[in-house]
Every structure is written in structure tokens, then in C-alpha cells.
Amino acid sequence: MSFAPSAPTTSDQLLQAVETVTSITDRPEIERVEIQVADTDPLLWLAAQTGGPALYWRGRGDREARAALGAARSVNARSLEEASLTDAGDALPAGARMWLTARFDTDAEVGHEWLAFGGVRLVLPRVELRQRGRDCTLSVYILPGETAEEVMDAIGELQPPVDSDAELDLPFMRRDDPDRSEWGRMLRWAFGSFSRRRLDKVVLARRARFTFEQPVDAVALMQRLEAATPRCYHALVAPRGLTGPTFVTATPERLIRVRGAEVETEAVAGTRPRAELDATDDELRDELLSSEKDRREHAFVRSAIGAALTPLARHVETDDETTAMTLARGRHLRTGIRATLADDIGPLDVLRALHPTPAVGGTPTRQSLDAIRRLEPFDRGLYAGPIGWIGRDDDGQQSADVSVGIRSGLVNQRTLSLYSGAGIVPGSTPSAEWAEIEHKIGDFARVLGLAERIEA
């Protein structure tokens, strides 16, 4: 339901709209009231708000960005298997989204820094700012039976955006988990598992934790990431508001995109950096495309995704050729995969089947997860987990867009923890995989102005 501006302030406009909707006592469905507002940067708007949960999202290649605040309705579950959209997603109005976050491994012990994020969460926000080009709207979601008084507090507390000139000071300390010697021990364990044929591939990750003199501004980080990493998904999640733990990601990898019965996904594995000189850059691309080790790693991912989709779909189609996904600072092998879902199969069913893919876990899945729990000296939390939304397009069709939360960091007061991993297969070497992760962490650190603290 949309309303033209007719009051002197945004809050007054929304209150008028809410009162109009809530005056109808028999409302069996979730309602959205929406007003047009001046062109507003969703990140700057979000930075001005208090409370939580707070979220920002821009899909890969999308012109549209959204910032969300509060929770009109939420679904909290221990795992994707236990999560359900019954009486939530089915009742969403056209254009509405429930924002999804999920831990990489819901069976792993939860680190204290990740406690605020829960296991699996789907949140329908109370208030949402949507920017598409120069068109901008502000929406409030109202549940069946809610009165105007029950939603007025959220509206009354909304603040106008303010320009951000926040600077990020250089950190004074960096700690790596694992350190280089422990990394070598981890890979030797993996090589032993390969030789005994217990594992075919395992993705092992590192965490680089930077400590600053002052609290880190998560919005300023997100602004820099978005400007420096085109062709990526960009997301920020702060379950307790921006003064609490905040997860940020600039990830190139799609997990699923759903519209109606059609689903798109992709196998992404294998990495090379970019080079400034065109000739050198072309050599790195050709090296990636011809690398036996990288193509073998990529094949594990492609085969596993196809096998997981087949029981859920009437038809599965895979690209004939593997190509190079070219980003601002790196390249990956990519194969596109599409499917037409069977009746009564929804986005959550697909997520349960696909996550974790061998691109972030390994193969076989159970054994690789056991290895990650045993070897990694930290909790991954949302790193490499699903992050995105499930809801309805503007025309009312079932839809979803969910990324894999790699190339990510956790802001917690004066610390910034950066996470990245590498696929370990027979033929990997500890030094090469250490260098690959250092390149990924270094790229993330550079766009945040941390070049002086990249080297461990």
C-alpha cells in the first residue's frame, strides 16, 4: 500500500499511513505501508539509526540497495533443517523480503564473538529504506492485528541521514589464527587424510584480527568495500544495532537466486590475483584456466551442486564450459548452473540441499566439516554461511537471492577480524595456500586502508 507525501516530516507521513491501515480491524495478512522520500543513501540512513537488528544489502549487479531496521517478525532456528517460513514467508506482500543469516556450521561450538547472531535467522524488518536509481521509498511492515501504537515507537525514533566523514585509523596490532607454523601442521594433517582417502578436498580458513585505538566504524568500512569491489554482493548485519558486533561482506559468490520455480546457482573455486599489466593479467587468467589442481578443485564443487539439485528439480542444466569470473582484484573459475524446481520445493529446501558446498567446506561433506572443527582454531560464525533474503518480487512471485558470506569481516568495538580460506586438494602446498589467503585478506585490508598492516 503506497501513500503520497502529505505531511511535513517523514515520520508524520508514516504515522498517517500506519493509522490508515490499522484502522481496518480485519487484516488477515501482513501489510506494508510505503511512502516516497527524497533520494537517500541507505547506508548513511542506517548509520543515523539506533537499535537493531540493522541490515544493509546490495545484490551482485543490482541497481537496488536496501537498509532495514528492527523486526516486525523473526524466525529463529538452530539450523536450516529446523527453519520454517510457515505463516511468515507465505503471507508476505509483494516486494517484501525476510533477511536471512545462517552460521557456516550450526553444529560447531559458538564463539563468544558470534553469540549475538544466533544460528539461523529470518527477519522481516519493521522499517525498510529502498533505493533504486534515484527512486527511494520508506516502508513499515504491520502484522495482522497490530495497532498503530505498537509500531509508532519505531517510527518516532527514526533519524534523518547525516553525511559521513568517518576515517579509519590504522591498527596497532595484528594477530593471525592459525600462525604460519600451525597452518603447516593443519595442511600436513589434510594431506594424510587424502592419502588415506578419507577426504578429497577440505577448505581451511584463517582469521586475521586487527586491533585499533578507537571503535571501528562498520558503515565506513562498508562504504569503502562497496566502492572498491564492484560485481560483488555487499551486506552488513548488526543484530544489536551498529554499536554491537557487525558482520560485513563483499562476496563474489552466489549460493542461489530464485524466481518462481527457476533457480540459478554457480560453482566457484580456484583463484588467481589480477595484475596491472594486461599481458601479465592475461597470463594469470590462462594459468588459472589450464591449472589441473584448480580445475580438479572446481570439479568437486560443480559435481556436488548438480547432485544436490537433481532430487529437487524437474530439470538441471550446467554450462558447457568453465570460465574465469573476473573481479577487480582477482579471478575464480566459474560454472553456471540452472534448474527448474519440482512442485512444492522452495528456497529453503534448496539452501538445505546446497549448503555447505565443497567451495567452502570440502568433500565428502561430513568428513570435511569434522576436519574443519578439528583443525581451525576459531569459530567461523557467519563467515562462509548463507546471507541474503527470501521473499516475493514486486509482482508477487516467490523469490530469493542468497550469497555465500566469504571475503568478510566481523567488527566488534576496537577489533576487526578478517576471514578467508583456501581449497586444499592433493597437489596443494602450505606456502602457496598461505599466499592465496594472504592475497585475499590483503585485498580486503587494502580497500579498508590497512595496507601498512597487511603483512603478518
- Its pTM stands at 0.92
Radius of gyration of the chain from its Cα atoms, rounded to whole angstroms = 22
**CA atoms of 171 and 97, how far apart (whole Å):** 37
* The predicted structure's pLDDT at residue 456: 44
Catalytic status, residue 292: no
**Residue 153: per-residue pLDDT:** 79
C-alpha cell at 73: 517478525
Which position among 31, 128, 201, 376 bears the catalytic label?
Answer: 201
Query: Of 315, 308, 304, which Cα lies nearest the Cα of 262?
Result: 315
Exactly one of 34, 226, 253, 376 is catalytic; name it. Answer: 253
Q: Evaluate whether 174 touches 209 at the Cβ level (below 8 Å).
A: yes
Q: Are 99 and 235 in contact (CB under 8 A)?
A: no
Which of 278-296 are b and which e, b meaning 16 or more Cβ less than 10 Å from the residue's Cβ? eeebeebbeebbebeebbb
201 among known catalytic residues: yes
What pLDDT sits at residue 443?
74
- Give the span between the Cα atoms of 441 and 436, in whole angstroms: 9
For every one of its 456 residues, what pLDDT tens digit does the chain have, with 9 covering 90 and above? 444 433 335 667 788 878 878 777 677 788 898 889 989 999 999 999 988 899 999 999 888 999 999 999 999 999 999 998 875 666 889 899 999 999 999 999 999 999 999 999 999 999 999 999 889 999 999 998 888 888 887 787 888 887 766 677 788 899 999 999 999 999 999 999 999 999 999 999 999 999 999 999 999 999 988 988 888 999 999 999 999 999 999 999 999 999 999 999 999 888 888 888 888 888 888 888 888 888 988 888 899 999 999 999 999 999 999 998 888 878 888 999 999 999 999 999 999 999 999 999 999 999 999 999 999 999 999 999 999 999 998 888 899 999 999 999 999 999 999 999 999 999 899 999 999 898 888 877 777 776 555 544
Instruction: Output the pLDDT for position 163.
Output: 75
Q: How far apart are CA 237 and CA 102, in angstroms?
A: 11
Q: In sequence order, what DSSP letters do the residues of 356-380 get, joined into one string? A: SPTTTSEESHHHHHHHHHHH-SS--
Amino acid (one-letter) located at 211: T
